[in-house]
Structure 1
Amino acid sequence: MWTTESPSAVVESTPPEVIDGASMATAVVEVTSDVAPTSTGVEQRAAAVTILTNDNGNLTKTFFLDEGGTVQKQAAAKLVYGRYQVRHAPDLDALNTILDSLVPTQAVTYGRPVTAEGVVVAQSVKGPSAGAITRTRENFQFGEDAGVLMLDYDPPKDQVAFSPSELLQTVRGCYGVLNKVAMLWRASASSGVNGRGITGQRIYLIVSKASEIPRIGKVIFDRLWLAGFGYYALSKSGQLLERAPIDPSVWKPEGLDFAAKPVLNNGITRASYESEITGDDLLDAAQVQELTAAEIVELKAIKSAARAAMTPHVQTAKEEYIKKVAPMMAEQLKRLNVDADSAAISVMLDRATAQRTLMGNFPLLTAERKWVTVGAVLDNPDKWHGTRFADPLEPEVDGRVAWVNLRSGGKPYLYSHLHHGTKYRLERAPALIEVTAGELPRMVDSMALLLKKTGQMYERAGVMVRVNEEGKIVQAIATWMKVFVHRHCRFEQFNERKKEMVVAECPQGVINGLLANAAQTRMPRLTAVRDVPTMDASGRVIAAPGYDEQSGLLLISEQFSKWPAIRKAPSVSDLGTALQTLWKPFQQFPYVSAADKSVVLAAVLTAAVRCCLRTAPGFGFSATAPGTGKTLLAQCIGALYDGTAPAVSAPITHEEEWQKSLFSSALAGAGTLLFDNAEHAIESASLCAVTTAPAIKGRVLGESREAEAEHRLLVLATGNGLQLVGDLNRRFFTCRLDAQVDSSKVAGRQFDLEPLGYCLQNRLAMITAALTLIQGYVNAGFPAVCDGLASMDDWNKLVRSTIVWLAQQGVTKGFVDPKVALLRDSANDPEAAALAGVLEMAKATFGRNGKFTVAELIKRSAGTEGWADLLRDIAGDQRGVDARRLGQWLLKREGRISNRLSIKRAGLNRTKTVLWGISEA
């Protein structure tokens, strides 16, 4: 509950009968990691069990009698410095042996660290020893081998606990898949203390795939609700807490299982309970299916009825909480020099408990045990963004359980992980701005400063923009801005008649000034909005939700803790697993060669990091017949980038339209552009520029000004026999597909796995896998494994180099340098062939040092078989070869080398007509 003093929980002493954890480390039984066969036919690899030994106290509970003879429980010491060691359990007997061997200074976790043993420290430790890791999801992860699923049972308060047989029957009975699965039952540390009998209990299962543990646990939890065992409990502040016989918060790879026996002091006794193993089979993760649509509807109805039944109890609990906490909050605010009467405090607590809103004077407790108001936090976002806090309603529980996001792109919020997670909106009292005639610049500057602090306004291409609820970049318009301003500011103006300040409306000039001078107001520059982790060109992983100033990226996430961490030093095994995860939906497409597979891998990796790369190539998908899967393949890649299947549009035929379309897409912050089923060769200078320039210039629609819009576009194009003209061939990597069946049968082919649906459903896992592959190359130190790629340095460094490096490590067998496809397609470029033909024709006709006009070139070609046809293909019309069009064609290709030859202007003749000549490199 609320206190005015900083709470502390420190273990005061270690009982003399407890053996030091360091000396007991050798007591842990070594278990082999051989593959074990199972009756289900699923090959089971040993499950990882990581033992952590604390250097500064017990990691198990301590029980003692107080002066009144009542049993008291002391929490475990915090693990600040310690050691970890990975063991392996091929079966539940081995797991039980490991758990039995734990001493009070030890606990276990079922996530696996990068190395088999080492030093572990708390995140608060500054300057840890080399190689030390923190117990975070970045360093402990569920892998693809077998893993331990722990089901934690604690009986509801004031209710009789299940017996072991009742608990096992309840769990098995909720889902038929669990009927014969092997389960290990163990009593918790609290059971049997001073005659209490069995209370808390654990059930352990070994599942075939550890990475599936969170999903499987959630399925079991939901099915317990469907079986009638779910209920709602009340927190101290009157919040409804979703509960079932098992705790859904324990399925974390970094979470601790305090499985060691408790420490018993001054006469405390504890009954001993034998563990029990029932069932035979490994839990095959593939057999655990998600709830059906009908079951989901049924579950929602059950929970809705349960919430309705709790409504009267909720209100009573909130009233009691406010009554108890209000005096302590008043004392705390007084220490912060904040004036707040009892009525205002009650309103703040009511809004916090009922609406999940924390008002400006609401006090928050930092991880350093210091108090600060919400208003002070909102006033200094650079200092407080991402900071850890205690839960706002139960600050005595944990000082680091909550974090604040002031750069979310929407309303700032605090997210607390207590009770499985609650999001609180942060709101300040409106700022006061005095309206005075003739002081427009002051009011605009004041308003701009306040808007910047909200974390909801940005600048893009010189205009003020915001991010809407769908995560799209939207230009701020005057009508919206006026409403937004009044939500954050209170305007007052002196009334001559009343001789006092009265409420006023924001002057339109302030709104116009803000919108007209977006760049001068120094709002944060917004380059892109994403909702999954990513990485910049330096190899820095960006996984913290909010605005990243260095990249200009806004990363949106409601609950960032659900994002899998990226290992800093992935092993070869980790990289192989990541590739399997990433490539699964792409393996069935009919690629012509290894180079084509590699183009797709490059496109997929690009989708994971494109939002932070200044430039990146486009990707083409060419098929021999309709229905081969080229559009589906492109949509899968676009879905990984955007989170939705990208819309398709037809390729544009006029350069002016290309420029307009690309600029408007860049201005709107678009992600994927998919130009589908190109029937003609694609040629565009603007499209070339998009792949090699980080910004596009253009005229803003509806305005008489030009702007430069920074973009992070991923450009994709498809076509049957896709043709790219000129420079596009070195700026697009093209994948070729060939089903090698009769064209009439292509459309009838079916995939064993629906690729697009899989990508959408497993996008986060696939992005994580892509970043893991790149992180492997980054951790190796960015070794120079390939040559450069003009105008695409960042992409070449992060994506192409990763693929080449992975091939060198033996991870990506069957893949090659994607540049192989680039060189192949450049050699087959019809544009390059035409240029080579003209150069050879001119050289043969006029000699190496000869000079000629366009008209002379056309005239001399007429008498040579094949040459006239070549020029007609380039610049022909109904009347023959158009000299003006041919001249423009030559001008665009001036200086380009083909077969060591190039064409260049050589001055003017006597009639002021341009002369051309052939140069040899």
Structure 2
Amino acid sequence: MHSQDKPLAPAYLTVIRADRPEQIGKRYDLEGTTLINAAGPGLSEGRAFVAEAANLSELAEWLTGLPTGCAVLTCGVPACPVPDDGLRIVRSDDLPTATKGEVIARTREYFRWPDGAGVLFLDFDPADGEPGLTAEAAAEILASAVPVLELVEALFWPSSSSHIGLSDGTDLTDRRGLHGYMLVADARDIPRAAMALHQRLWLAGHGRIVISGNGTLLERGPIDTAVHQPERVIYAAGAVLGAGLVQRRGDPVLMNKGGIAVFDSRMLLPDLTLDELRAYRRMVIAARKVVGPQAEQVRSDWVAATHEAEMRMKHPDATPEELARLCAEDAEGPQRLRRAVEARGPVALGLDHVLYAGAGKPVTARAIRDSPDYWLGRRICAPLEPSYRGWQHCASILQGHRGAPIIKDWSHGGGQIFTLGSWGEWTPAKEATRQRLLAGMREKG
């Protein structure tokens, strides 16, 4: 364990300044007395700078200095050298046509964990209907699972959606999520250590099973296990606010001050023993059984509603009675939807499957497949749960095999791949896509 005020080497992370669009992240506006949350656009282009923090107090200075709406963090660093004026970063789809020069995408190929000390990011998301945690409560939960963590310094700050209110002091959102930061001696151990912490939190009684909008059972705990990737963006700055709104998150809170500034995660967060692992698995299985019947009902309702939406898109002039008859006659539709939501690998969506470019903006998989020039690079709602996080654009339309459009869905921290029909069916734009790819390669040189 390291107990000095500063680690032998600073912890490194990346600050990405947004250039296009100039404003990213969550946005809140006030319409009358109603607070409207609009997910801002994702980062298309920016510049990456490597930052360093010798301790959590220095990290707090970085966090509070981030400009609202135009900068994000990653706990990983670019895999190539970063010049003093920053490293250009673009979307992976834009790399083939990017101008010459040093340019990378924010993907695993171009980001890695730092050598030496790094930042363990802890994203605390409350269960539905529960308030967000305070710094004191979060530190207590961590210590209940791993008692030695009460000796380790930890920095906490409410998430960008917390404590948004009016100038008269009215708090419209209260506490929502909470972000935690700890310094570890070897950043490369972060994914393993974070999973060990998640499992020990379950053993301490802090685990739960969540039912998604399509009936999938999701294993959850106090911390989000999907964020521990070197390229994963952290929206640490505050939200972008419309007229009449203010945000009062306060300053980051340092807990266990004077304790271990940077800790050996392999020593303090070891893997579960075989007996502990068996106990953890039994707890998860038991929790899943409790909510199983409810999840099946949710899934049945989702299949019926999604099937009806497909039929409505296919037969827009059908009366309610005709629509009910068409749904009853299409026995394969519900079975196909069930196979899609229960699949463990890439999912082939039917061409009549209804996707959403936003709330109230349906589009079929066939329409996207047949208009790749328009749709490639765009973001849409989750293919199998479009209302996820308020119709958030959490899926990207990318180029797959031979240029055919595919969808990569990041809802629930996943990375699920969806294809749109088969390659043999995808003929209208095949040659145009091939020519576009070749032109981009020639331009890049």
The Cα offsets for residues 336-385 of structure 1, whole Å up to 9 and x where unpaired, read as xxx99313333333333356675755537699x974469x99xxxxxxxx
* Bigger proportion of residues as strand: 2
Structure-2 change in CA distance of 1:332 and 1:98 (3 Å): same
Match of 2:90 in 1: 121
SS of match in other structure, 1:156: coil
Structure-2 change in CA distance of 1:42 and 1:286 (3 Å): farther
- Is the 2:380–2:396 Cα contact (8 Å) retained in structure 1? yes
The alignment-based identity, stated in percent, is 26
Counterpart Cα distance in 2 of 1:363 and 1:84: 38
Match of 2:207 in 1: 230
Match of 2:222 in 1: 245
Counterpart Cα distance in 2 of 1:193 and 1:278: 24
Counterpart Cα distance in 2 of 1:127 and 1:75: 27
Structure-2 change in CA distance of 1:313 and 1:167 (3 Å): same
Residues 1:300 and 2:300 are matched in the alignment: no
Q: Could you tell me which of 350, 357, 361 is aligned with 2:338?
A: 350
Q: Could you tell me which of 92, 101, 104 is aligned with 2:56?
A: 92
- Is the 1:110–1:254 Cα contact (8 Å) retained in structure 2? yes
TM alignment of 1:908-919, pairs within 5 A: none
Structure-2 change in CA distance of 1:423 and 1:112 (3 Å): closer
TM-score, with structure 1 as normaliser = 0.37
Match of 1:101 in 2: 65
Match of 1:277 in 2: 254
Which AA in structure 1 matches 2:294?
Answer: H
- Is the 2:155–2:182 Cα contact (8 Å) retained in structure 1? yes
The Cα offsets for residues 645-672 of structure 1, whole Å up to 9 and x where unpaired, read as xxxxxxxxxxxxxxxxxxxxxxxxxxxx
Counterpart Cα distance in 1 of 2:308 and 2:293: 24
- Is the 1:366–1:399 Cα contact (8 Å) retained in structure 2? no
Counterpart Cα distance in 2 of 1:214 and 1:92: 20
SS of match in other structure, 1:306: helix
Match of 2:385 in 1: 394
Counterpart Cα distance in 2 of 1:297 and 1:269: 48
- Is the 2:2–2:263 Cα contact (8 Å) retained in structure 1? no
Counterpart Cα distance in 2 of 1:86 and 1:40: 24
Counterpart Cα distance in 1 of 2:47 and 2:110: 14
Counterpart Cα distance in 2 of 1:248 and 1:261: 22
Which AA in structure 2 matches 1:321?
Answer: W
Match of 2:373 in 1: none
TM alignment of 1:259-278, pairs within 5 A: 259-278=236-255
SS of match in other structure, 2:254: strand
Q: Could you tell me which of 322, 331, 344 is aligned with 2:312?
A: 331
Match of 2:137 in 1: 166
SS of match in other structure, 1:269: strand
TM alignment of 1:412-561, pairs within 5 A: 416-421=409-414
TM alignment of 1:633-644, pairs within 5 A: none
Q: Which has the higher contact order (CA 8 A, sep 6+)?
A: 2
Structure-2 change in CA distance of 1:299 and 1:120 (3 Å): same
Q: Could you tell me which of 128, 133, 136 is aligned with 1:157?
A: 128
RMSD of aligned C-alpha atoms?
3.6
Match of 1:72 in 2: 36
Which AA in structure 1 matches 2:338?
Answer: D
Counterpart Cα distance in 1 of 2:253 and 2:275: 36
Structure 1 residue 177: Cα displacement: 3.7
Match of 1:62 in 2: 27
Structure-2 change in CA distance of 1:73 and 1:415 (3 Å): closer
Q: Could you tell me which of 187, 195, 208 is aligned with 1:210?
A: 187
Match of 2:102 in 1: 131
The Cα offsets for residues 306-334 of structure 1, whole Å up to 9 and x where unpaired, read as 00011122122123323432232223445
Which residues of structure 1 form unaligned runs of 5+? 1-36, 378-387, 407-412, 430-451, 454-921
- Is the 1:110–1:142 Cα contact (8 Å) retained in structure 2? yes
- Is the 1:405–1:414 Cα contact (8 Å) retained in structure 2? no
The Cα offsets for residues 828-859 of structure 1, whole Å up to 9 and x where unpaired, read as xxxxxxxxxxxxxxxxxxxxxxxxxxxxxxxx
Match of 2:430 in 1: none
Structure 1 residue 40: Cα displacement: 6.6
Structure-2 change in CA distance of 1:145 and 1:112 (3 Å): same
TM alignment of 1:771-920, pairs within 5 A: none
Q: Could you tell me which of 295, 301, 304 is aligned with 1:320?
A: 301
Structure-2 change in CA distance of 1:425 and 1:147 (3 Å): closer
SS of match in other structure, 1:249: helix
Match of 1:147 in 2: 118
Which AA in structure 2 matches 1:57?
Answer: E
TM alignment of 1:672-687, pairs within 5 A: none
Match of 1:112 in 2: 77
Counterpart Cα distance in 2 of 1:426 and 1:199: 35
Counterpart Cα distance in 1 of 2:241 and 2:305: 34
The Cα offsets for residues 216-244 of structure 1, whole Å up to 9 and x where unpaired, read as 11111111111111111121111111111
- Is the 2:139–2:255 Cα contact (8 Å) retained in structure 1? no
Structure-2 change in CA distance of 1:402 and 1:170 (3 Å): farther
Counterpart Cα distance in 2 of 1:290 and 1:112: 26
Counterpart Cα distance in 2 of 1:341 and 1:199: 44
SS of match in other structure, 1:241: strand
Structure 1 residue 107: Cα displacement: 1.0
Match of 1:363 in 2: 353
Higher mean alpha-carbon deviation, 356-365 vs 101-110, is at 356-365
Structure-2 change in CA distance of 1:142 and 1:106 (3 Å): same
Count of aligned residue pairs for this structure pair: 375
Structure 1 residue 108: Cα displacement: 1.1
Structure-2 change in CA distance of 1:401 and 1:245 (3 Å): farther
Counterpart Cα distance in 2 of 1:284 and 1:152: 20
Match of 2:435 in 1: none
The Cα offsets for residues 12-59 of structure 1, whole Å up to 9 and x where unpaired, read as xxxxxxxxxxxxxxxxxxxxxxxxx94279953111121111122323
Structure-2 change in CA distance of 1:286 and 1:272 (3 Å): closer
Which AA in structure 1 matches 2:326?
Answer: D
TM alignment of 1:523-602, pairs within 5 A: none
Which AA in structure 1 matches 2:327?
Answer: S
- Is the 2:159–2:178 Cα contact (8 Å) retained in structure 1? yes
Structure-2 change in CA distance of 1:318 and 1:286 (3 Å): closer
Counterpart Cα distance in 1 of 2:58 and 2:142: 23
Counterpart Cα distance in 1 of 2:132 and 2:8: 34
Counterpart Cα distance in 2 of 1:420 and 1:304: 21
Match of 2:266 in 1: 286
Structure 1 residue 97: Cα displacement: 0.3
Structure 1 residue 183: Cα displacement: 0.4
